[in-house]
Every structure is written in structure tokens, then in C-alpha cells.
Amino acid sequence: MNSKKILVIGSNSFSGSHFVAEALRGGHQVWATSRSRELDPVFLPYLWLDPARGEPLANQANFSFQAIDLNSQLSQLLELVDRVQPSHVVNFAAQGMVAESWFNPTHWYRTNVVSQVALHDALRQRPFLEKYLHVTTPEVYGSTDGGWIREHNQFAPSTPYAVSRAACDLHLHSFQKAYGFPVVFTRAANVYGPGQQLYRIIPRALLSARTGKPMQLHGGGYSERCFIHISDVVRATLQLALEAEPGSTWHLSTQEPISIRDLVERICQRCGVAFDSVVEESGERLGKDQSYLLDSTAIREKFGWSDQVRLDEGFSETLAWVDSHLDQLQTLPWTYQHKV
């Protein structure tokens, strides 16, 4: 594989940091930006010791990080773009967390729509850009109660977060049609793995199982999801960034749905604790979708991709990460901390 110049925006997000590590392992030159360096390297896989090299991947000469806030420092980001002239841009930057988007919706629209449009309008004028991969979300579809869905644009978002992501996706479709902007979309089912933010369901359940500190299960945990390991996601993301046709959309998902309740029960069993001892049931959150069932046939048939990490194996790997950093993780916030 030829080495590419890849700019990763939102590099210190969970998926972004794992993608950086994957791209570096693939021998690519990576320039990474996020609005801030995470406070603790326990959440940044590219700073972890790489067994094949005996040192962190970030120590390589082909990696550079710069703190840039997309909302307020677009000019600095474009200066970096023009200096590096990346052939590929992969964008993970977005204001996440569905429930909190109801409290400060303008923050979500600013980050996920307005700032993104400004970025894309500048990038479309850069002739050296070969591919722009936009990491989006199945939330744009709303609940997939009718069963497994293929890639399409029939959006029915149900929260400010989902509306903001759908608006940005539609904007990018218009740029692709009008200007030939080389965008590729990915939508992944619920992603998990070591290094994930502690407020997410799997690390949160593992921490509760290990410490006995109770966790809330919204709506009894009866909504259904397909959980996919981060290594399967970033492997697909890199391949799509390099090989997918501009204008295409790809679903990344397992074929094994599970309710949140059953997921937590399996974690409790794995950790040898009683479900009732760590779970407190609470009311359903506003706008919660019942299910996301993404048909991933397209990427399987076109690129030969498949999810390789089974859920129990992923539990074990994530639990090992929790156990190896448990003393440290107990000192960090387990709830979402909103950044303006």
C-alpha cells in the first residue's frame, strides 16, 4: 500500500484516536487535530505502547498533532491543510451525546452544521484533496423499527443531535452533486472497545461491575443495538477512505442485535456480579430510538470486509483495559462532561 498524507480531524475522539493508530500502523503520514489534547493518555491509543515497535505509535516521524478548535480556529486548520496538502481528510469531529443535545441544541448545530459547512466550503476549493471521509451516524435514520435497512437518505432524526448530523449529511450530498466534492460517508452501529469514554454503556457497566457503584439503565434497557468493536470499524474506515467511490455511503455493523439490558446482564455474568446489585432502572430519555439495525451487506460484498471481533472477545479486551487502569479510572469522571 502506498503511503498517503492523511489529515484526521477530531483525532482525540474515541474512534478518531483508534483510527490514527490504525493509519500509523499502515505506514501512512498522519496529521491529527482536535480542539484539545485529552487530559489522560489512557483514552488515546496512539499514545499506548505498540508491541510491534516497543514504543508509542505517536513517536514516529510521520505523526504530528496540533490542537485546533473547528468552531473558532478554522483559519489555523486551513493553514495546516495548505501546508500539508493532504490527499485524504477523515473527519470524526462532532458534538456527540444525544440526551444532552436537548439542553444546549445551539452548541450541537454550531459544531455539527455551521462549522462543518465552512470547512467543506474551503476544502472543496483545494485541488489536491482526493477523498474526504465523513464519519456520521445511524441516528439520522431515527429508529429502524421496520428491520434491517440499507444505505439511503430517508432521514427521520428524532433529537437535536440527530437533526444536526442529518443536516450536515444533506449539505455534503449537495456539495457532491454540485461540485463533485469527493465525500464518502460511513455510519457505524454502536462502537465500543478499550479507551472508550467512561460514560458509554460498556465501559460504564464494566466499571460498575468491578466497583459496585450503581449505574442507571434508561427505560429498563429494552432498546436494541448492534455493538461493533472499534478495531473492525477503523479497519473498514481506512479501507473506505482509500478505496471507496466518492458519493458513496457505507454501513459498518455486526449482524447480531442485542438489547441494552441483555448486554449489561452478560457483562455482569462475565464479572461475576448480580445484575440487580449494580443496575438502577430509570425513565427513558427523550427521543430515544428503539433500534438501529444497519444492513452492512454492501461493504461485505464490495470490499470483503467482515466484523472479526465477537462480543464476548470484545468484552474481555475492554475489561482487561479497565482492570489494568482501574485505580486511575476511578479518579476520572464517569458522566458526560460538556465542553462548550
Q: Chain-wide mean pLDDT for the chain?
A: 93
Locate all alpha helices (DSSP H) within the chain, ordered by sequence. 14-25, 74-84, 105-109, 115-123, 160-179, 201-211, 230-243, 260-271, 275-278, 297-303, 311-324, 326-329
Query: How many Å apart are CA 204 and CA 279, to the nearest integer?
Result: 11
Give yes or no for a contact between 221 and 8, defined as CB atoms under 8 angstroms apart: no
Summarize the confidence of residues 203-225 as an average pLDDT.
Answer: 91
Single-letter amino acid, residue 208 = S
Q: Domain for residue 164, yes or no?
A: yes
Torsion of CA 36, 37, 38, 39, to 10 degrees: -100
Contact 141, 86 (CB under 8 A): no
Domain range for 247: 5-196+230-255+291-309
| Alpha helix stretches (DSSP H) within 43-86 | 74-84
pLDDT of residue 286: 64
Overall domain count for the chain: 1
Does residue 120 belong to any structural domain of this protein? yes
Q: Does the pLDDT at position 1 exceed 80?
A: no
Q: pLDDT-based confidence at 292, cuts 50/70/90?
A: confident
Residue 274's pLDDT is 95
Q: Give the pLDDT mean for 263-290.
A: 85
User: Is residue 332 a part of any domain in this protein?
Assistant: no
What is the predicted pLDDT for the residue at 98?
85
Q: What confidence tens digit (pLDDT) does each residue in 303-334 have?
A: 999 999 999 999 999 999 999 999 999 999 87
Chain centroid to Cα 71, Å, comes to 19
CATH number at residue 129: 3.40.50.720
Whether the per-residue pLDDT at 180 is higher than 90: the answer is yes
With respect to residue 57, please indicate whether it lies within any of the assigned structural domains.
Answer: yes
Mean predicted confidence (pLDDT) in 231-251: 98
Q: Is residue 317 part of a domain?
A: no
Structure-block grid coordinates of residue 150: 440499507
Q: 104-152: per-residue pLDDT in tens?
A: 999 999 999 999 999 999 999 999 999 999 999 999 999 887 789 999 8
Report the share of the chain in percent with pLDDT over 70: 96
pLDDT in tens, 4-42: 999 999 999 999 999 999 999 999 999 999 998 877 899
Residue 70 lies in a domain: yes
Q: Which three cell numbers stand for residue 63?
A: 505523526
